[in-house]
Structure 1
Amino acid sequence: MVLFKRTKHHKGSIYCLAWSPVGDLMATGSNDKTVKLMRFNADTSNLEGEEVELTMHDGTIRDLCFLEDASNKSSLLISGGAGDCKIYVTDCATGTPFQALSGHTGHILSLYTWGGAMFVSGSHDKTVRFWDLRTRGCVNVVTPVTVPGTRQGSPVASLCVDPSGRLLVSGHEDSSCVLYDIRGGRNIQCFKPHSADTRSIRFSPSAYYLLTGGYDNKLVLTDLQGDLTLPLPSVVVAQHQDKVISGRWHPTEFSFLSTSADKTATLWALPPI
Structure 2
Amino acid sequence: MGKLQSKIRRRSDLYRASREDGTDNVPVQQVVQYDPAHTDAINCVTTISSDLCASGGSDQVVVVYDWRAGRLCQSFHGHSREVTKVKGVPGTSLIFSASRDKTVLMWDMNSGDGPLKEFCGHELVVNGLAISPDGSRMCTGSRDNSMCLWDIESGECLQKNTISRNLVTHVCWVPGGTSIVQTSEDKTIKVWDSRSWQVTNTFPAKQYIQTHCDVSSNSNYLLSSSNGFGGQGCEATLWDLRQPGCKMVEYRGHLQTTACGIFLPSSHGSPAMVATSSHDCSVKIWDQNTAVCLCTLTLSSAGPLVSLTPCDVSSLICASFNTGLHLLHLSHGAGLDLKEVARF
TM-score by length of 2: 0.68
CA distance in 1, matches of 2:92, 2:284: 28
Match of 1:89 among 149, 165, 182: 149
**Counterpart in 1 of 2:273?**
209
Amino acid in the other structure paired with 1:204: L
Decide which moves more: 234-243 or 158-167. Answer: 234-243
Match of 2:238 among 156, 179, 182: 179
How many Å apart are 1:50 and its aligned residue? 5.4
How many Å apart are 1:211 and its aligned residue? 0.8
Indicate how the Cα distance of structure 1 residues 213 and 104 shifts in structure 2: closer, same or farther if over 3 A, else same: farther
Match of 1:51 among 116, 124, 138: 116
Counting only pairs closer than 5 Å after superposition, residues 97-136 of structure 1 correspond to structure 2 as 97-103=157-163, 105-115=165-175, 116-136=177-197
Give the 4+ runs in structure 1 shifted more than 6 A: none
**Counterpart in 2 of 1:149?**
none
Indicate how the Cα distance of structure 1 residues 215 and 75 shifts in structure 2: closer, same or farther if over 3 A, else same: same
Amino acid in the other structure paired with 1:28: S
**Counterpart in 2 of 1:256?**
316
Q: Structure 1 residue 198 and structure 2 residue 258: aligned?
A: yes
Structure with the bigger RCO (C-alpha within 8 Å, sep 6+) is: 2
CA distance in 1, matches of 2:168, 2:281: 23
Residues 21 and 66, structure 1, Cα contact 8 Å, conserved in 2: no
Amino acid in the other structure paired with 2:285: L
Amino acid in the other structure paired with 2:125: T
Q: CA RMSD in A?
A: 2.1
Match of 1:223 among 272, 284, 287: 287
CA distance in 1, matches of 2:92, 2:277: 24
What stretches of structure 1 of length at least 5 have no aligned partner? Answer: 146-152
Match of 2:85 among 5, 13, 16: 16
Residues 177 and 193, structure 1, Cα contact 8 Å, conserved in 2: no
Amino acid in the other structure paired with 2:293: P
CA distance in 1, matches of 2:188, 2:291: 24
**Counterpart in 2 of 1:164?**
218
Indicate how the Cα distance of structure 1 residues 50 and 237 shifts in structure 2: closer, same or farther if over 3 A, else same: closer
CA distance in 1, matches of 2:89, 2:217: 17
SS at match of 1:259: strand
Cα deviations by residue, 1:120-162 (Å, 9 ceiling, x for unpaired):
00000111111121343221110254xxxxxxx3211011121
Amino acid in the other structure paired with 1:2: L
**Counterpart in 2 of 1:150?**
none
How many Å apart are 1:90 and its aligned residue? 1.2
**Counterpart in 1 of 2:140?**
79
Indicate how the Cα distance of structure 1 residues 120 and 231 shifts in structure 2: closer, same or farther if over 3 A, else same: closer
Residues 247 and 256, structure 1, Cα contact 8 Å, conserved in 2: yes
Decide which moves more: 185-194 or 202-211. Answer: 185-194
**Counterpart in 1 of 2:108?**
39
Residues 317 and 327, structure 2, Cα contact 8 Å, conserved in 1: yes
What stretches of structure 2 of length at least 5 have no aligned partner? Answer: 1-70, 229-233, 334-344
CA distance in 2, matches of 1:102, 1:159: 20
Indicate how the Cα distance of structure 1 residues 156 and 60 shifts in structure 2: closer, same or farther if over 3 A, else same: same
Aligned length: 251
Decide which moves more: 160-169 or 90-99. Answer: 160-169
How many Å apart are 1:244 and its aligned residue? 0.4
Amino acid in the other structure paired with 1:169: L
Residues 284 and 293, structure 2, Cα contact 8 Å, conserved in 1: no
How many Å apart are 1:48 and its aligned residue? 6.5
Amino acid in the other structure paired with 2:316: F
How many Å apart are 1:6 and its aligned residue? 3.0
Q: State the structure with more CA Rg.
A: 2
Cα deviations by residue, 1:36-75 (Å, 9 ceiling, x for unpaired):
112333xxxx357852112201001112111134xxxx52
Indicate how the Cα distance of structure 1 residues 124 and 253 shifts in structure 2: closer, same or farther if over 3 A, else same: same
CA distance in 2, matches of 1:141, 1:121: 10
Amino acid in the other structure paired with 1:24: S
How many Å apart are 1:234 and its aligned residue? 3.7
CA distance in 1, matches of 2:224, 2:164: 16
Q: Structure 1 residue 3 and structure 2 residue 73: aligned?
A: yes
Q: Structure 1 residue 66 and structure 2 residue 136: aligned?
A: no
